[in-house]
Amino acid sequence: MTAPQPAAQPTASYGTGHTPVVELRGIRKAFGDLLANDDIDLRLRRGEVHALLGENGAGKSTLMRGLYGLVRPDAGQVLVDGRPVSITSPKDAIAAGIGMVTQHFALVAPMTVTENVMLSSVGLGPLDLAAARRQVKDAAARIGVAIDPDARVEALSIGEQQRVEILKALVHDCRVLLLDEPTAVLVPQDVDALFTTLRRLTEQGLAVLFTSHKLHEVSAICDRVTVLRRGRVVTTRDVDGAQARELAELMVGRPVTGVARDAVLGFETDEAPAARRDVDVPAKTVLRVRGLTVAGTASQGRRALFDVKLHVDAGEVLGVAGVSGNGQRELVDVLTGMREPVAGSVEVDGVDLTGAGPQRLMDAGVGRIPEDRHASVVPDLSVEDNLVMEHLDEFRRGPFVDRRKVRAHANRLIEEYAIKAGPTDTVGSLSGGNMQKVLLARVLDREPRLVIVAQPTRGLDVGATEYVQRQLLRQRERGAGVLLVSEDLDELLALSDRLVVLSEGRVAGELPVQEATPERLGLLMAGGTIEEVTA
């Protein structure tokens, strides 16, 4: 697979203009007492990229899944080219010319591009491999890239795999493409390539419905936007150069301000972030990692991490960037006591804690906020029990748990961290943002010397993201060291003082935030060297 080629003649064209290719009328969907979609109308025009925005729980995913036949609306009507259609399964959606690509690709890694395309359309009768290869080439010409039909998916980059998913939709004569958080796993260069593809397809008349939390990207690629709030349409309007801040305020219904707003909104200028290490804290190293090597799985090869060196000082945020699967998870696992390295050392405040377990690390002042918030709580237990579960001995009176002390502790943290729940509510009943607040409260209330945090805002809406990021900056302000692992480059650039990039389990380079740009980080993430990036 290579860079985009000169424009080829499209294999199909559906015209442009303002005639809706898909129209939703009065769509309603409830899950028990929760009304996810409340009388939603939406018109999707040929040749446009239409953003669907809203906070978590606003109803975006339900609406997209309903249009693709993954859920069935309780009421309302779907029209395609002005004619009512019944969409009860993805097969019905595909037959109506609707395709969908999610951020979690449905590809079989050991198979070729052609074989994956064939899997998406297998029916009765003989399989024609030659015809399938021609379909791949024709669809690739339509999006303007050269794709090897015989390339194995496991050998492709993340961006290339996403293009294969788009190919799978196009070979079915797709006229409407649903993209759910399409840039969440891409490096900046792949985002640019995706946007080039979308512009090419919309010029041919394809309609795109696009959801994203990266609002500056919405401003860059979308023609119109529909904003949902609590299951209802707040507005549909032309994007027309709207700034990310304006779109965010439409989503949440209030101004988005504060120290973390750049991370929420993305950078709207080409200016590099200013230096942030302005806290009055002695430059003492709280974490030092030397030569860290971690065994890998069969798919990763012999090592998931190899000879990693890094340090975090008091009063700074060290950001760790990298395409998913390049050693970030293993690094966090070692630093939080969930995995032992095969070589190297880990020191916290000068004390060797190599191979230490979670409890010993917590006792040494390490706070851990893992990427999987659901696995870090016990959903069936109450908020108050989850808040004390990692240090329950502090709440005992003799052999018994002091329930009054537990309740008082929970009430204080619920107020301090603005958790929208009562102490006896089960954590599993909370929204993702409130569940993350429970984790933050449990860890940060103990004022750790070092905070290890991974993907802290993944899946959170604008308001919750802003809150979480502000809490992390407060840790730096009080003098803690923070190691922040994130796949969101805007978040890393807004919060970090220094950044390191992991590529294939190694440190590809380190940059102060003043010298870091999405493009430079993307090159390092894609396998470039620090010498190439800074030349």
Q: Is residue 345 part of a domain?
A: yes
pLDDT of 63 reads 94
Same domain, 49 and 160: yes
Lowest mean pLDDT among 109-118, 220-229, 352-361, 476-485: 109-118
Give 169-173's long-range contacts (Cβ < 8 A, gap of 24+): 169/99, 169/100, 169/101, 170/99, 170/139, 170/142, 170/143, 171/117, 171/120, 171/121, 171/135, 171/136, 171/138, 171/139, 172/94, 172/97, 172/99, 172/120, 172/121, 173/12, 173/97
Give the per-residue pLDDT at 278.
Answer: 55
Pair 350, 275 in one domain: yes
What is residue 250's predicted lDDT score, i.e. its pLDDT?
A: 78
- Mean pLDDT check: name the lowest of 98-102, 141-145, 240-244, 433-437: 240-244
Q: What is the pLDDT of residue 298?
A: 52
Q: Quick one: pLDDT band at residue 7, thresholds 50, 70, 90? A: very low
The pLDDT > 90 percentage for the chain reads 48
**Residues 226 and 326 grouped into a single domain:** no
Whether the pLDDT of residue 461 is over 90: the answer is no
pLDDT of 462 higher than 80: no
Does 101 lie in the same domain as 196?
A: yes
Do both 86 and 233 map to the same domain? yes
Same domain, 323 and 436: no
- Determine, yes or no, domain membership for 474: yes
Same domain, 145 and 80: yes
Of 176, 167, 20, which Cα lies nearest the Cα of 107?
167
In a domain, 406, yes or no: yes
Q: Is 126 exposed, middle or buried, given 0-12, 13-18 or 19+ CB atoms closer than 10 A?
A: exposed
Does residue 195 sit in the same domain as residue 238? yes
User: What backbone torsions phi and psi does residue 43 show, to the nearest 5 degrees?
Assistant: -120, 125
Give the tens place of pLDDT for each residue, 401-458. Answer: 999 999 999 999 999 999 989 999 999 888 888 899 999 999 999 999 999 999 898 7
More confident residue, 50 or 251: 50
The domain boundary residue, chosen from 445, 460, 488: 445
Task: Say whether both 27 and 128 belong to one domain.
Answer: yes
Residue at a domain's end among 395, 415, 445: 445
Residue 1: inside a domain, yes or no? no
The answer to the question of residue 512 being in a domain is yes
Query: What is the count of structural domains for the chain?
Result: 3
Q: Which domain holds residue 425?
A: 378-445
Average pLDDT over all residues of the chain:
85
Pick the last residue of a domain from 406, 429, 445: 445
Q: What are the CA-CA distances from residue 284 to residues 278, 349, 434 (Å)? A: 14, 8, 33
- For 267-325, what is each residue's pLDDT tens digit? 443 333 444 555 555 679 999 999 999 987 655 556 789 999 999 999 999 999 988 77
- The long-range contacts involving 254-262, CB below 8 angstroms and separated by at least 24 positions, are 256/462, 256/466, 258/466, 258/470, 259/469, 259/470, 259/473, 260/465, 260/466, 260/469, 260/470, 260/473, 260/494, 260/495, 261/466, 262/490, 262/493, 262/494
Q: Is residue 72 assigned to a domain?
A: yes
Residues 415 and 307 in one domain: no
> In terms of pLDDT, which residue wins out, 284 or 16?
284
The confidence band for 124, taking pLDDT boundaries of 50, 70 and 90, is very low
**Residue-level pLDDT at 273:** 41
Answer yes or no: do 478 and 518 share one domain: yes
Residue 373 lies in a domain: no
Task: Report residue 260's pLDDT band, with 50, 70 and 90 as the boundaries.
Answer: very low
With respect to residue 261, please indicate whether it lies within any of the assigned structural domains: no
Does the pLDDT value for residue 252 go beyond 50? yes
**Residues contacting residue 374 through CB under 8 Å, at least 6 positions apart:** 435
Q: What is the CATH number of the domain that holds 492?
A: 3.40.50.300
pLDDT of 158 reads 76
pLDDT score for 510: 94
pLDDT for residue 444: 96
| Window from 36-45, 131-140, 410-419, 496-505 with minimum mean pLDDT | 131-140
Whether residue 10 is predicted with pLDDT greater than 70 in this model: the reply is: no
Question: What is the mean pLDDT of the segment spanning 181-189?
Answer: 77
Whether 44 has a pLDDT exceeding 60, the answer reads yes
Pairing of strands 83-85, 303-313: unpaired
Rounded to an integer, what distance in angstroms lies between the CA atom of residue 123 and that of residue 167?
18
Do 412 and 489 reside in the same domain of the chain? no
Q: What is the pLDDT of residue 212?
A: 82
Picking from 307, 491, 490, the residue whose alpha carbon sits closest to that of residue 482 is 491
pLDDT at 22 over 70: yes
Specify the 3-state DSSP secondary structure of 206: coil
